[in-house]
Structure 1
């Protein structure tokens, strides 16, 4: 039978320190700790151990501040901690590598590190614990487990981090006053957050990035400086029956290339009818549109279109006549001005209004529509339209359809003629958006006498201003976990104000290309430091990086 060892500085026959008890403790032992403050650390490897605090809650403190190690560290061990107050003022407090770590009714605080870290396949079980300080609250990296009824507050960066395929279940847990994000899921993280509350964050409530697919169910996200939930490109997962209050717009921001399943997401107070739910979805999508940089005229035009469609729906429901309305649009302007993103949102808006059956979005170019022999083009075009029916068909650089490819017969005109017919035939189940440079698109509309009349409106996407490009660059950097050093925004503005805005100007693409160059410049700079860079070093882009990237 496993022994129970007593640690006490007052009781005769007890072990005066944890180190004394640990020295003779066999696997499976329980160490009971009398009230007091113990300036010690506990390290357990390939063994089983339980540490239990005696006395009133908070009466036993294990303080590792200044000792250079976590208060408790485990490796391939089974360790249980009950009722302890654990501190490490200059690093992480509890670390588990492999094995199983269980904490119940513990209070933790950390310095430059996480209060709890679970890595390398560890199973973490934390119940009714409080984390009151630290750089991070809990970090699960290639780990699993259950975090339930815990409270995390006043951490300087992220409340909970889940990464490297970790899949913990986090239930009824409160995260508040995080300096950065409430929950950050990245590098294929797959956690389940059930009935959690995330509030008063310095930025996003929940951020999802780098191929992650979490499940968020019945969570309440409120009073965040950033959006409620951010789903990055390439990410999926499920967001179900969550509530939002006093977040930045939109409540849920889904970046292009992300494909989460979102159901019954709502603002407080709860939506109670189907009509209210549809309206909330429309407002959410319009919020995503408003969150885009610039494009004031485009946003106004889209809102006007949505207003008209909404009124037509109400008129139809009231038994009033509604004239035939085309949902096809023309987007003109230079590359990198958000045309594809707006087209996706437009399709989702039409679905939310019940105008189109689903939110299908199919982007094609000339090669997807034009065949190589007589009859082939009509067949290809019809097949593409069939796939897009129910949603949006987006044709980028549409004017190339009317240009000969050279070297013999060209069937681009056949594709245009076929589109004109199908756009009319499927007017009620398809929205076709053609996009391209302004002058070229004007010429394109002249290639068929009925083409221009098929479109409801032309939306002109203007080039971004230097201020807007600076803001875009800042957003791209933030989404990739970079910070702009003081003075860098001014440098970016000067660069964007001075570059040539000719026919090949790429707008947001220029900002992304510049950030990529700056990251490469930062990598070279950090390699020359002669030391391992700090976390701030790794996150910060400087004016020197801009100068190196631009050759200035």
Structure 2
């Protein structure tokens, strides 16, 4: 008979923590956890046991903020999780490597990682599992198993990721509100999706790439911001009886060199083709998407002041829409903004989110984002500048026109006639004439942007507000390095965070300091240093060697 252990910090005779129970549990033990919140990091190495909620599903919350470490890690184990809510910070809530994970009636979320990560040949059996919020939903790589009646909702980027030859079966699962792709299948993956719904993804509903060959049967893709299904070059697979509604045209996009079999819902087999779909109507509000975009903004590192200002702008727009619907007077509102600050502080990313927010509020119909610089606006002869500026402006109508290093328009090129000021004068008129059809955002260094605004008497009055993007602190830069590394399948060795923090603390942070770009450049240099170190090992490095960056790599990068 299987051993049964009870965990409760209050019940007499029970073990006070999950860790205590694991220390005395035999193989095949069932650990029943009393309702409550447990701040623990659970590591299961070579174990065979069950962790079960002692109350209703969701009554037990296991949470951990240990940097780079999943809340529950299952390695070479046979584990059952039932009725638990698991939360994490910058690592997965649940991670399974090799072995088998049975997870039933659980909830999982991670702020800056996949909520559930399955890798290295593991097998997952997930039933009625719910993933909400965070950066990614479920990641399955080089693994198999099944997801049955699961739900992935409101994640910042991709909802379900299947890669590296993984071949799970996903049935009756709903993936809705993904900030980027609903489902991303790539690197030779071969999943089967049956009777699944992929709804309201920010971009493509289901994206298939890199020699993958999935099977999609009776799936419904609804309301994607981009195309419903894309099949990339070299991909195959079967798309049978699927419907695509309210997505960008074409509903199903098959690239040249792709060869999927596409079967009509009624059973007639046809070749690669496009399925027409209706785009989202302009002027319609989407409150759920507004909240998802604001959550995506909140997930960015730092920028507390910027986030507060953007929320205030969105609140004002929303209230004005309510007043208009109630038949009350609404004053004219400009959506044009000035972003000031050093490079690499997230100005372009925030501008994109702002444009998407205006679209979700029904203010801008297209939500298109067009980024330009001086060369895109300024011509070489009289009349050419106005022509170029008008063309760029018309292309961006219905969305956001983002002008980076806008102050360069107010500076002479030193070559005789300079047409930068002509571009500014043209923009001033266009911004007034089309104030309700576009958001113009100008960006650059703080001091230089004051010079830019003085170039035309009416320019400053066209902008609703100035948002100042401050330099990132050393702690924030370390977090950025960790996020970039994690996204590229790298890990930072113990103690490396402290060394990075010390390095960023001593770097001169003038207006040329690159912030996030500096963090990315440093990480790239560390990768190069790691490559040199691994080449000298005298053996083929294992998976951990390839993924882990150590102090010597930082020293090599900064020497």
- Calculate the TM-score normalised by the size of structure 1: 0.58
Structure 1 residues 313-355: Cα deviation after superposition (integer angstroms, max 9, x where no partner): 0000000000000000000000000000000000000000011
Q: Within 2, Cα distance between the matches of 1:211 and 1:392?
A: 34
Instruction: Figure out how many residues of one structure are paired with residues of the other and give that number.
Output: 370
- Please state if 1:196 is matched with 2:176: no
- Please state if 1:185 is matched with 2:162: yes
Q: Within 2, Cα distance between the matches of 1:498 and 1:480?
A: 27
Match in the other structure for 2:416? 408
Question: How far did residue 182 of structure 1 move?
Answer: 9.8
| Residue pair 1:217, 1:240 contacting (<8 A) in 2 also | no
Match in the other structure for 1:3? none
Query: Pairwise mapping of residues 327-476 of structure 1 onto structure 2 (< 5 A)?
Result: 327-476=335-484
Which moved further from structure 2: 437-446 or 499-508? 499-508
Q: Within 2, Cα distance between the matches of 1:190 and 1:359?
A: 36
| Residue pair 2:97, 2:122 contacting (<8 A) in 1 also | no
Q: Within 2, Cα distance between the matches of 1:188 and 1:400?
A: 49
Structure 1 residues 436-456: Cα deviation after superposition (integer angstroms, max 9, x where no partner): 000000010000000000000
Q: Within 1, Cα distance between the matches of 2:553 and 2:468?
A: 34
Structure 1 residues 41-63: Cα deviation after superposition (integer angstroms, max 9, x where no partner): xxxxxxxxxxxxxxxxxxxxxxx
SS of corresponding position for 1:502: coil
Question: How far did residue 195 of structure 1 move?
Answer: 2.8
Within the candidate set 515, 527, 535, 1:507 is matched to 515
Which moved further from structure 2: 294-303 or 537-546? 537-546
| Residue pair 2:141, 2:166 contacting (<8 A) in 1 also | no
| Residue pair 2:530, 2:553 contacting (<8 A) in 1 also | yes
SS of corresponding position for 1:463: coil
Q: Within 1, Cα distance between the matches of 2:197 and 2:301?
A: 27
Match in the other structure for 2:331? 323
Within the candidate set 465, 474, 485, 1:477 is matched to 485
Question: How far did residue 172 of structure 1 move?
Answer: 3.7
Cα 1:345–1:231 change in 2 (3 A) is same
The two structures, once aligned, show a CA RMSD in angstroms of 4.6
Query: Pairwise mapping of residues 83-98 of structure 1 onto structure 2 (< 5 A)?
Result: none
Within the candidate set 518, 523, 541, 1:533 is matched to 541
Match in the other structure for 1:62? none
Q: Within 1, Cα distance between the matches of 2:432 and 2:312?
A: 23
Query: Pairwise mapping of residues 68-467 of structure 1 onto structure 2 (< 5 A)?
Result: 113=98, 135-137=120-122, 160-161=140-141, 172=148, 184-186=161-163, 195-196=172-173, 208=184, 240=221, 278-467=286-475
Based on CA coordinates, which of the two structures has the bigger radius of gyration?
1
Q: Within 2, Cα distance between the matches of 1:405 and 1:513?
A: 30
- Please state if 1:487 is matched with 2:518: no
Structure 1 residues 351-401: Cα deviation after superposition (integer angstroms, max 9, x where no partner): 000111111000000000000100000000000000000000000000000
Question: How far did residue 263 of structure 1 move?
Answer: 7.6
Question: How far did residue 193 of structure 1 move?
Answer: 5.2
| Residue pair 2:150, 2:172 contacting (<8 A) in 1 also | no
| Residue pair 1:170, 1:196 contacting (<8 A) in 2 also | no
| Residue pair 2:123, 2:145 contacting (<8 A) in 1 also | no
Q: Within 2, Cα distance between the matches of 1:477 and 1:544?
A: 16
Q: Within 2, Cα distance between the matches of 1:346 and 1:426?
A: 18
SS of corresponding position for 1:136: coil
Structure 1 residues 110-160: Cα deviation after superposition (integer angstroms, max 9, x where no partner): x975779xxxxxxxxxxxxxxxx9843359xxxxxxxxx98699xxxx863
| Residue pair 1:187, 1:209 contacting (<8 A) in 2 also | no
Cα 1:507–1:325 change in 2 (3 A) is same
| Residue pair 2:150, 2:174 contacting (<8 A) in 1 also | yes
Q: Within 2, Cα distance between the matches of 1:428 and 1:299?
A: 23
Structure 1 residues 4-24: Cα deviation after superposition (integer angstroms, max 9, x where no partner): xxxxxxxxxxxxxxxxxxxxx
SS of corresponding position for 2:296: helix
Cα 1:217–1:497 change in 2 (3 A) is farther
Question: How far did residue 162 of structure 1 move?
Answer: 6.4
Cα 1:209–1:460 change in 2 (3 A) is farther
| Residue pair 1:347, 1:361 contacting (<8 A) in 2 also | yes
Q: Within 1, Cα distance between the matches of 2:194 and 2:477?
A: 36
| Residue pair 1:378, 1:414 contacting (<8 A) in 2 also | yes
Question: How far did residue 212 of structure 1 move?
Answer: 10
Structure 1 residues 262-319: Cα deviation after superposition (integer angstroms, max 9, x where no partner): 989xxxxxxxxx9997111000000000000000000000000000000000000000
| Residue pair 2:285, 2:361 contacting (<8 A) in 1 also | no
Q: Within 2, Cα distance between the matches of 1:412 and 1:212?
A: 50
Q: Within 2, Cα distance between the matches of 1:534 and 1:511?
A: 26
Cα 1:414–1:190 change in 2 (3 A) is farther
Q: Within 1, Cα distance between the matches of 2:433 and 2:311?
A: 26
Q: Within 2, Cα distance between the matches of 1:445 and 1:236?
A: 46
Cα 1:193–1:454 change in 2 (3 A) is farther
SS of corresponding position for 2:472: coil
Q: Within 2, Cα distance between the matches of 1:151 and 1:340?
A: 40
Question: How far did residue 527 of structure 1 move?
Answer: 1.3
Q: Within 1, Cα distance between the matches of 2:310 and 2:430?
A: 24
Q: Within 2, Cα distance between the matches of 1:190 and 1:424?
A: 55
Cα 1:197–1:377 change in 2 (3 A) is closer
Q: Within 1, Cα distance between the matches of 2:520 and 2:289?
A: 30
Structure 1 residues 89-109: Cα deviation after superposition (integer angstroms, max 9, x where no partner): 989xxxxxxxxxxxxxxxxxx
SS of corresponding position for 1:321: coil
| Residue pair 2:126, 2:148 contacting (<8 A) in 1 also | yes
- Calculate the TM-score normalised by the size of structure 2: 0.58
